[in-house]
């Protein structure tokens, strides 16, 4: 049996698992604690949660550790874990207005009701490597914390109200810049792509669910393509907010709304100039796109909002010029899941001996065919030459 290739699979895969563990630990450094990952790698944790479609910071920290920082692998671990949990009940609809904001900005107006709040942002940092955090000590950490707490005390508002702001989109609705909300809110349960396979055309709730668990890099690429030139997106950021959202469910017996906790989340709304061509609308208005992620994921939320807006306009035939690949809903939604895309791309590592052998046979026949064809062509030319000279 010695000459059958790739046998002994069992031993090989168990050894491979051990080697991965060894590589992670061989440097002898102190093992990372989950709490350190949760607090100090919060973007990695947030990305694992939103692409893994499960809000669980400590489990996400574990996933990031186990995946050695690979974001798709970490979200894959969380997704697989999610399948083992039964879906108990949907939460009640929440509005971003309920968010306890740490940050909210608008690019549409200089001043907005409630004011701009920059919050925790790296946007205006000069991107120089910071040597100071390379050598942090307990003392330096204490000093940083104390300095910030002084700031907080000084800036505390008199009434103690923190972080609640009206929505810029609501102001825009009042001013009839964007379409009003429907008189009767849609109370039907949203589409759940984990329960029913997505089919096209799909409802907007399926699109939003699909985008919000999409790969950040992928959404970014599609949204960017649409604003750079392969599309008709002209977004303006109405509002971007990051903070804590309370989550409520209906009590199973009384139906009463009960808050079960809060999640850290990013919400984004963009307006896009759809008025020029959306013929069906009675009054020309801007189109609104919506983006949402667990954790602090601004680029993803903005990309999602742009794509939502582009796809809504594409459906309403409101785009002009070349609409580009990002306006193709099926194309965007079926290729933006990082876990699916990476799984399938990686599957080419699996053995394909059988299919390759079959391909070889077809190649042999094609070669034979080409040889016969060129031989018969040569013969034809020879015959013609003979005829001509005769």
Interface with another protein (CB under 8 A), residue from 366, 378, 381, 382 = 366
Per-residue x/- track, 160-199, another protein (CB under 8 A)? ---------------------------------xxxxxxx
- Nearest distance from C-beta of residue 192 to another protein, angstroms: 8
47 vs 333: CA distance, rounded Å: 18
Question: Residue 95 or residue 374: which is nearer to another protein going by CB?
Answer: 374
Burial group, residue 159, by CB count within 10 angstroms (0-12, 13-18, 19+): exposed
Q: Decide the pairing of beta strands 235-250 and 100-105.
A: antiparallel
What would the two tokens of residue 298 be?
């601004």
Question: Residue 108 or residue 312: which is nearer to another protein going by CB?
Answer: 312
- Nearest distance from C-beta of residue 150 to another protein, angstroms: 43
Per-residue x/- track, 13-52, another protein (CB under 8 A)? x---------------------------------------
Residue 384 falls in which region: left (phi positive, over 0), alpha (psi -120 to 50) or beta: alpha
323-327: long-range pairs with CB below 8 Å, 24+: 323/231, 323/232, 324/225, 324/226, 324/229, 324/230, 324/231, 324/232, 325/222, 325/225, 325/230, 326/222, 326/223, 326/225, 326/226, 326/230, 326/231, 326/233, 327/226, 327/231, 327/232
Alpha helices in 229-325 (DSSP H): 298-315
Burial group, residue 133, by CB count within 10 angstroms (0-12, 13-18, 19+): exposed
Strand, helix or coil for residue 37: helix
Question: Residue 3 or residue 124: which is nearer to another protein going by CB?
Answer: 3
Question: Residue 12 or residue 156: which is nearer to another protein going by CB?
Answer: 12
193 vs 200: CA distance, rounded Å: 12
Residue 340 interacts with another protein (CB under 8 A): yes or no: yes
Q: How many CB atoms lie within 10 A of CB 59?
A: 20
Residue 372 interacts with another protein (CB under 8 A): yes or no: yes
Interface with another protein (CB under 8 A), residue from 92, 346, 378, 382 = 346
Interface with another protein (CB under 8 A), residue from 27, 185, 201, 252 = 201
Tell me 347's DSSP state.
G
304 vs 68: CA distance, rounded Å: 27
Residue 343 interacts with another protein (CB under 8 A): yes or no: yes
With contacts defined by CB under 8 A, name the span among 26-34, 126-134, 287-295, 345-353 that binds another protein: 345-353
Residue 334 interacts with another protein (CB under 8 A): yes or no: yes
Interface with another protein (CB under 8 A), residue from 152, 161, 253, 362 = 362
With contacts defined by CB under 8 A, name the span among 100-108, 117-125, 176-184, 347-355 that binds another protein: 347-355
Interface with another protein (CB under 8 A), residue from 160, 182, 347, 389 = 347
- Nearest distance from C-beta of residue 70 to another protein, angstroms: 13
239 vs 90: CA distance, rounded Å: 26
Interface with another protein (CB under 8 A), residue from 365, 375, 376, 382 = 365
Q: How many CB atoms lie within 10 A of CB 356?
A: 9
Per-residue x/- track, 65-94, another protein (CB under 8 A)? -----------x--xx-xxxxxx-------
Residue 199 · residue 269 · CB < 8 Å:
no
**What residues line the site for another protein (CB under 8 A)?**
1, 3-10, 12-13, 76, 79-80, 82-87, 193-201, 330, 334, 339-340, 342-347, 350-355, 357-359, 361-362, 365-366, 368-370, 372-373
């Amino acid at each position: 049996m010695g000459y059958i290739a790739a046998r002994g699979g069992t031993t090989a895969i168990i050894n491979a698992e051990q080697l991965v563990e060894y590589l992670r630990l061989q440097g002898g450094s102190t093992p990372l604690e989950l709490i350190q990952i949760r607090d100090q790698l919060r973007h990695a944790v947030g990305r694992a949660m939103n692409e893994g479609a499960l809000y669980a910071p400590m489990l996400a920290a574990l996933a990031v550790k186990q995946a050695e920082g690979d974001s798709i692998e970490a979200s894959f671990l969380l997704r697989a874990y999610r399948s083992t949990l039964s879906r108990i009940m949907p939460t009640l609809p929440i509005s971003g207005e309920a968010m306890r904001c740490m940050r909210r900005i608008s690019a549409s107006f200089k001043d907005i009701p409630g004011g701009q709040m920059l919050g925790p942002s790296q946007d205006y940092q000069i991107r120089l490597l910071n040597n100071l955090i390379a050598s942090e000590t307990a003392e330096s950490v204490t000093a940083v914390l104390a300095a910030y707490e002084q700031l907080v005390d000084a800036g505390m508002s008199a009434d103690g109200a923190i972080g609640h702001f009206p929505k810029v989109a609501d102001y825009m609705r009042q001013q009839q810049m964007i379409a009003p909300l429907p008189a009767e809110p849609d109370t039907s349960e949203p589409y759940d792509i984990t329960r029913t396979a997505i089919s096209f055309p799909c409802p907007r709730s399926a699109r939003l669910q699909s985008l919000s668990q999409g790969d950040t890099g992928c959404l970014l690429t599609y949204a960017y393509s649409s604003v750079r030139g392969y599309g008709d997106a002209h977004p303006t950021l109405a509002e971007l907010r990051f903070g804590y959202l309370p989550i409520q469910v209906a009590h199973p017996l009384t139906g009463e709304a009960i808050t079960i906790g809060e999640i850290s989340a990013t919400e984004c709304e963009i307006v896009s100039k759809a008025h020029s061509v959306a013929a069906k609308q009675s009054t020309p208005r801007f189109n609104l796109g919506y983006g949402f992620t667990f954790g602090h994921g601004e680029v993803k939320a903005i990309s999602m909002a742009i794509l939502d807006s582009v796809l809504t306009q594409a459906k309403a035939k409101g785009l002009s010029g070349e609409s580009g690949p990002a306006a193709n809903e099926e194309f965007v939604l079926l290729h933006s899941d990082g876990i699916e895309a990476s799984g399938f791309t990686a599957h080419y590592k699996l053995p394909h001996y059988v299919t390759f052998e079959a391909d070889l046979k077809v190649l042999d026949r094609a070669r034979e065919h080409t040889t016969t064809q060129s031989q018969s062509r040569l013969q034809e030319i020879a015959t013609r030459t003979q005829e001509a000279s005769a």
